[in-house]
Structures are given as structure tokens and as C-alpha cells.
């Protein structure tokens, strides 16, 4: 019994700052070979591609660039949705490769009032499908579509299960049917990569929809969806703003802190999220050639907003903030102003007027109306007020 107790203590999650191990983060602005990165050109041509490849190979898996064709079918259109406030479009985005196809179902409300084209918010929905009910019979603060539309933005969502169902036995049954070679590769894409891939296909659709200002799309994801949103926004520079809500381990939080969820824990519980190589870093974070501050740095110079929730220690609020602070090094190359202070702000004190934004909401792990209000403020600042 003594041995068993000892064993379980060793495996228990750490929630104490004093027990965070000493760690050294890989430098955002230093190449693998030790060369310093001093300007935008070497960042964009050398370090950024290097970091992307390190994340593909060691964490999220490859991002397949090629499909044979893509089609967009509007399956339902309601001109006077939301009591006349919005036009509803339900769109099926179909990707084809080697005679196989996969569908992403998009729900999109476009405000009727402001002049077109409009900026948009896109949510990667990882929770109940009813959160994005197109009929609005069910409403949810997880996707407060009326509030977003009322603020002058189009609001869209797709569900992760279209891209990759969220279980280890079924994740193959989405877009991975088009890319079977990924299932065999140690650096092959799995569910999180597939969700990010789908977000980029929605961006392809936005570029074709004249009602949408595709240069002003803010991508939002919560928790596992926030990991996918961060990865999508890191690679696909068409996303103008990236919002990583309570994304935690292998999202915004630093893995080396081993605070709350750890790499081993996430790989054991969700073996279908990250590539096979990532399992080598179970209880071995120091060997990772990246940490999550480098993921956020890839979003530079585009605005990024990270959130935590005060009771969501599993997702390491402090580690998410330090990660954002470290990512600032890439923003500095572009002289993009940041209002981050060395210590995290108080609870419910959002940092909005900054290229790197952050809040720590009072309460539990969730995506709420409070979070969305701040996302809208952040987008207002960057899309209209600041420019």
C-alpha cells in the first residue's frame, strides 16, 4: 500500500506554483543551430518556417496542403433570421481528394444592417451541436450569435466532428479519409490537426463569399477547440485575429511548467489528438524542441487573444500568460505594441488595446458571454479603432 500511495503521489497533477520545476524555454528568436534571429526577414524566411516544421513533426502532425477540389453548397438560406437582424446561410463545404470527399457544415449569420462586406467571427465548436442552433430555438453563451451580429460582425461555426470525430476509434472518419497516409506517419495529422485544417477550408469559403470581409476574420476556439484554433491561426496567416480560450496544455500553456494537465496526461487520455512523435515527450518535456510560447509567436504580427478562467487550474492560467509574454519577442520584430505587464493582470481585468491580449475570467473552464464581450472589444480595437 505504501508503494501504491507513493506511486499515485508521483503521478498526481501539480497545482502548486512552488512545485513547478526549473525549466529553460527554447528561444523564440534563436534558430535550432544557434543563430540569432534579429529581423523580420530572418524570422519570416528562416525561423518561422523552422518552428512550424517543429510543431508539425513533434506535436500536431503534418498539415496536408493539397486537395483536388473544394465546393460550396448553400443548403439553406433565411433572409430574415434573428427577427430580421441577420441573414442565415447554411453551407456545406466539400473537399475532394482521390475521388473521396468530406463535408464541413457551416452555420453563418450575416448582419443585415451594416454595409457589406463585414468582418466575421468563426468558432470551432467542440461542444454540443445545439450551441450553434441555426433555428435559434436553442441559444447558448458558448456562441452568443445575436450579440456578435448586433456588434456588426458575421458569426459562423462548424462542429469538430465533421472534420474528425473526437474519439480514438473514430477520428479517422472525417477528413483523414482523404489523407490515409497521415494515419501511418509518425508525424501524421490527427484530430486537432484535422479541426485546424477544416478551419482553413472555412476560410477558403469566406474568401469566396462577397458578404464577408475575409481579411477580417477572427478565429475562436475553446479548450480542445482553442488548441486547434491556435494551431490553425499559427499556420494560416489569413486569420486576422486568433483567440485561444482556456486552451491549456498543448494550447497556450507552457508544457515545461507541468502545472495542471501534462503532456503525458493529455497523450494518455487523448491519444488521437496529437501525432505519434509527441508521445516521446511524455514526462520528458525538456526534450521538446518547442514550447507553446512558440506556437503563439507564429501568430505575429497578427493580434492574438488568450484567456484563462480563475478556477481552471488544469489549463494553467499563469503558464498561459507567461507563454503569451514570451511570444511578444516575435511581435517586437514588427514593432507591434503590447500592453502586457510582467505579471498577469487581476481577475476580470482584460488587456484589450494590445497586439497580445489577455484576460483571466472569474469562474470555471468554459466559453461565456463575458469572454465574447472581450473578443468583440478586441476585434473592434484592431479592425476599426486602431486603424
Give me the active site residues, please: 223, 365
Decide if residue 266 touches ligand GTR (CB under 6 A).
yes
Instruction: Give CA angle at 242 (238, 247), nearest 5°.
Output: 140
Instruction: Give the residues across from 309 on adjacent strands.
Output: 361
Least distance (Å) between residue 226 CB and ligand GTR? 8
Least distance (Å) between residue 246 CB and ligand GTR? 7
Q: Helix crossing, 191-208 with 224-235: angle to 10°?
A: 60
Least distance (Å) between residue 252 CB and ligand GTR? 11
Site string for ligand GTR, 110-139 (x = CB under 6 A): ----------------x-------------
Site string for ligand GTR, 329-368 (x = CB under 6 A): ----------------------------------------
Decide if residue 201 touches ligand GTR (CB under 6 A).
no
Site size toward ligand GTR (CB under 6 A) is 7
CB-CB neighbours of 189 under 10 Å: 26
Whichever of 178 and 266 has its CB closer to ligand GTR, that residue is: 266
Whichever of 214 and 367 has its CB closer to ligand GTR, that residue is: 367
H or E stretch at 74: strand 69-81
CA distance 338 to 270: 35
Give the end-to-end CA distance of the chain in Å, rounded to a whole number: 64
Whichever of 132 and 249 has its CB closer to ligand GTR, that residue is: 249
Least distance (Å) between residue 152 CB and ligand GTR? 30
Decide if residue 260 touches ligand GTR (CB under 6 A).
no
| Residue matched to cell numbers 476599426 | 384
Q: Which of 182, 223, 267, 377 binds ligand GTR (CB under 6 A)?
A: 223
Whichever of 182 and 262 has its CB closer to ligand GTR, that residue is: 262
Decide if residue 248 touches ligand GTR (CB under 6 A).
yes
Decide if residue 258 touches ligand GTR (CB under 6 A).
no
CA distance 299 to 233: 6
Whichever of 126 and 297 has its CB closer to ligand GTR, that residue is: 126
CA distance 59 to 65: 18
Decide if residue 224 touches ligand GTR (CB under 6 A).
yes
Decide if residue 261 touches ligand GTR (CB under 6 A).
yes
Least distance (Å) between residue 228 CB and ligand GTR? 10
Sign of CA dihedral 234, 238, 242, 247: negative
| Residue matched to cell numbers 433572409 | 79
Whichever of 64 and 225 has its CB closer to ligand GTR, that residue is: 225
CB-CB neighbours of 206 under 10 Å: 24
Are 78 and 88 in contact by the 8 Å Cβ rule? The answer is yes
Least distance (Å) between residue 71 CB and ligand GTR? 31
Helix, strand, or coil (residue 334): coil
Question: What burial letters (b/e) apply to 344-356, b meaning 16+ CB within 10 Å?
Answer: beeeeebbbebbb
Whichever of 159 and 224 has its CB closer to ligand GTR, that residue is: 224
Least distance (Å) between residue 225 CB and ligand GTR? 7
- Return residues touching ligand GTR (CB under 6 A): 126, 223-224, 248-249, 261, 266
Amino acid at each position: 500500500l505504501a508503494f501504491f500511495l507513493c506511486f499515485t503521489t508521483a503521478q498526481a497533477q501539480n497545482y502548486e506554483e512552488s512545485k513547478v520545476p526549473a525549466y529553460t524555454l527554447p528561444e523564440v528568436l534563436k534558430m535550432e543551430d544557434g543563430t540569432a534571429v534579429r529581423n523580420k526577414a530572418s524570422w519570416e524566411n528562416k525561423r518561422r518556417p523552422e518552428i512550424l516544421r517543429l510543431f508539425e513533426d513533434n506535436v500536431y502532425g503534418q498539415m496536408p496542403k493539397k486537395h483536388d477540389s473544394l465546393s460550396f453548397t448553400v443548403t439553406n438560406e433565411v433572409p430574415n433570421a434573428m427577427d430580421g437582424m441577420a441573414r442565415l446561410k447554411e453551407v456545406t463545404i466539400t473537399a475532394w481528394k482521390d475521388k473521396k470527399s468530406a463535408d464541413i457544415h457551416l452555420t453563418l449569420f450575416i448582419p443585415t444592417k451594416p454595409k457589406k462586406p463585414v468582418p466575421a467571427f468563426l468558432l470551432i465548436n467542440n461542444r454540443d451541436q445545439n450551441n450553434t442552433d441555426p433555428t435559434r430555438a436553442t441559444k447558448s453563451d458558448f456562441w452568443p450569435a445575436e450579440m456578435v451580429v448586433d456588434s456588426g460582425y458575421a458569426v459562423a461555426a462548424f462542429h469538430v466532428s465533421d472534420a474528425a470525430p473526437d474519439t480514438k476509434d473514430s477520428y479517422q472518419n472525417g477528413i483523414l479519409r482523404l489523407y490515409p497516409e497521415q494515419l501511418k506517419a509518425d508525424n501524421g495529422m490527427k484530430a486537432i490537426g484535422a479541426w485546424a485544417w477544416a478551419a482553413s477550408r472555412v476560410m477558403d469559403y469566406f474568401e469566396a463569399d462577397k458578404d464577408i470581409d475575409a481579411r477580417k476574420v477572427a478565429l475562436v476556439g475553446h479548450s480542445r477547440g482553442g488548441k486547434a484554433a491556435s494551431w490553425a491561426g499559427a499556420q494560416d496567416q489569413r486569420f486576422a485575429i486568433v483567440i485561444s480560450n482556456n486552451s491549456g496544455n498543448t494550447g497556450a500553456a507552457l508544457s515545461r511548467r507541468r502545472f495542471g494537465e501534462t503532456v503525458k496526461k493529455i497523450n494518455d487520455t487523448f491519444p488521437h489528438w496529437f501525432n505519434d512523435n509527441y508521445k516521446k515527450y511524455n514526462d520528458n518535456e525538456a526534450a521538446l524542441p518547442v514550447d507553446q510560447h512558440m506556437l503563439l509567436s507564429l501568430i505575429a504580427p497578427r493580434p492574438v487573444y488568450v484567456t484563462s478562467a480563475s478556477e481552471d487550474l488544469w489549463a494553467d492560467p499563469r503558464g498561459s500568460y507567461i507563454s503569451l509574454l514570451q511570444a511578444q519577442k516575435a511581435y517586437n520584430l514588427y514593432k507591434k505594441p503590447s500592453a502586457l505587464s510582467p505579471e498577469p493582470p487581476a481577475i476580470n481585468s482584460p488587456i484589450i488595446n494590445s497586439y497580445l491580449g489577455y484576460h483571466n475570467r472569474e469562474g470555471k473552464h468554459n466559453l461565456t458571454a463575458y469572454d465574447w464581450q472581450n473578443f468583440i472589444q478586441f476585434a473592434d480595437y484592431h479592425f476599426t479603432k486602431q486603424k
